[in-house]
Amino acid sequence: MSDKSTPDDRLPSPEEALETLLPPGDVPVDMAISLGLDLPADADAANEIVIRELAEARREAGELLEDLQRVAADFANYRKRTERDHLENVLRASSRVIESLLPALDSLDAAMAYEAQTDGEQQLLAGMQSTRAQMLDILAKEGFAAIDSVPGTAFDPAVHEAVAGGGEGHLVVSQEMRRGYLIRDRVIRPALVMVAPDGDHA
């Protein structure tokens, strides 16, 4: 055995290990001790133990790597699920607030249909129009949008609710009775419409 040794029980650096290289079959005693190995004096038996320990260490390292990859994947899935749940909660809260504002929007829409008779009424309607526009601009930032229900629009039961009319074949909106709205492409209130066969809505 060589009498060269590292100054303490720490693992040798690559340079120190090179300095302690011995002929095949000879393992430095202090290196074996630092690795927690109790090697026999027989070189072949010692090499066999070192190889076996190395194989076991590689197996354990592989298992630890698999565990780490599994934990990382679980964490990534947890983070995605948490973000999705957070967005869903925000969407539900926004929907509740916006739904409470719909009657006010309906009132403003009804007011816009009134034909002003005096200058005072015109000024009042202009103020209400400005208020309505500001409200819609603010709500649009939350993904709020009106459902397209102009006459001639194809009837879509996913966003339209037919309250009158009907017929055979391809149906279209003939008149909007109450405006419907979406928030981030999700219906919060369907549009109430009259429907007619395509070509009969004019």
CATH number for the domain that contains residue 157: 2.30.22.10
Residue 32 within any structural domain of the chain = no
Task: Choose among 101, 95, 93, 200: nearest CA to 152.
Answer: 200
pLDDT in tens, 100-155: 889 988 888 888 888 878 888 888 888 888 988 998 898 888 888 999 998 889 99
Residue 69 within any structural domain of the chain = no
Q: What is the CA radius of gyration of the chain?
A: 39
- Residue 142's Cα: distance from chain center in Å? 17
**How large is the greatest C-alpha to C-alpha distance in the chain, in angstroms?**
114
The pTM of this model reads: 0.56
Instruction: Give the C-alpha distances (Å, rounded to integers) separating 127 from 6, 91, 111, 124.
Output: 88, 30, 11, 5
Residue 159 within any structural domain of the chain = yes
Q: What is the pLDDT of residue 25?
A: 47
Report whether pLDDT(190) > 90: yes
Q: What is the pLDDT of residue 72?
A: 93
Report the 10 Å Cβ neighbour count for 164.
12
Residue 175 within any structural domain of the chain = yes
Q: What is the pLDDT of residue 92?
A: 83
Cα(11)–Cα(33) distance, integer angstroms: 10
Residue range(s) defining the domain that contains residue 191 = 144-202
> Kind of pairing, strands 160-165 and 171-178?
unpaired
